[in-house]
Amino acid sequence: MDFYEVIRTRRSVREYKKDQIPEEVLKKVLDSARIAPSGSNRQPWKFILIKDTERKKKMVELCEGQEFVAQAPVLIVACGKNIHYNRGKWMGDYSMIVDVAIAVDHLTLSARAEGLGTCWIGSFDNEGIKKFLNIPEDVNVVALTPLGYPKDPNVFKETKNRKKLEEIICYETWK
């Protein structure tokens, strides 16, 4: 699939089929996260794959009752180890979050290329998930996404729901 078509047609998918993901496809998608860039190549991430039905159900509660997180065959919890360090100073506390976000973006685009749906989940109970999944103290959850085949095969449509380029680009200085 053309790279730009992948980017243009990735959509948040909130309804999934139960169909399993072939292992080689799952590996390909996860590998896209693995090779993402990170500050000083620290790769501060870890991805927890939840397939167990009961565990996924409990995760709904920990994601503010968003039922669809338990619908897909896999729920991915993207975690990052806090490093509080960055040569750019103020970014220090955010650098881990940036790194993990890039990896998750790789994953979501790769999923789209494979016909798989994702939905970035940012509303969740970090402390609750950490407790439930035995995540260490110095690690936090950055995002979650279900991963599975969309119920509606036509969900991958281009969106018009974005600001215009002229609104978000300026030249030389902020204006």
Ligand X SMILES: Cc1cc2nc3c(=O)[nH]c(=O)nc-3n(C[C@H](O)[C@H](O)[C@H](O)COP(=O)(O)O)c2cc1C
Q: What is the four-CA torsion angle of 155, 161, 162, 166, rounded to 10 degrees?
A: 130
Cβ contacts of residue 42 below 8 Å, gap of 6+?
A: 83, 99
DSSP 61-90: HHTTT-GGGGTSSEEEEEEEE-----TTST
Asked if residue 37 binds ligand X (CB under 6 A), the reply is no
- Among 119, 129, 135, 141, which residue interacts with ligand X (rule: CB under 6 A)? 119
Residue of 20, 40, 126, 159 that binds ligand X (CB under 6 A):
159
The dihedrals phi and psi of 88, each to the nearest 5 degrees, come to: -80, 10
CB of 60 to ligand X, least distance (A): 12
Cα within 13 Å of Cα(159), Cβ side: 12
Query: Which tokens belong to 15?
Result: 């309804």
When the beta carbons of 5 and 136 are compared against ligand X, the nearer one is 5
Instruction: For residue 154, state whether it binds ligand X (rule: CB under 6 A).
Output: no
Q: Does residue number 120 form part of the binding site for ligand X (CB under 6 A)?
A: yes
Q: Which stretch binds ligand X (CB under 6 A): 33-41, 74-82, 91-99, 116-124?
A: 116-124
Out of 24, 65, 90, 123, the only residue in the binding site for ligand X (CB under 6 A) is 123
Residue numbers 57-76 binding ligand X by CB under 6 A: 66
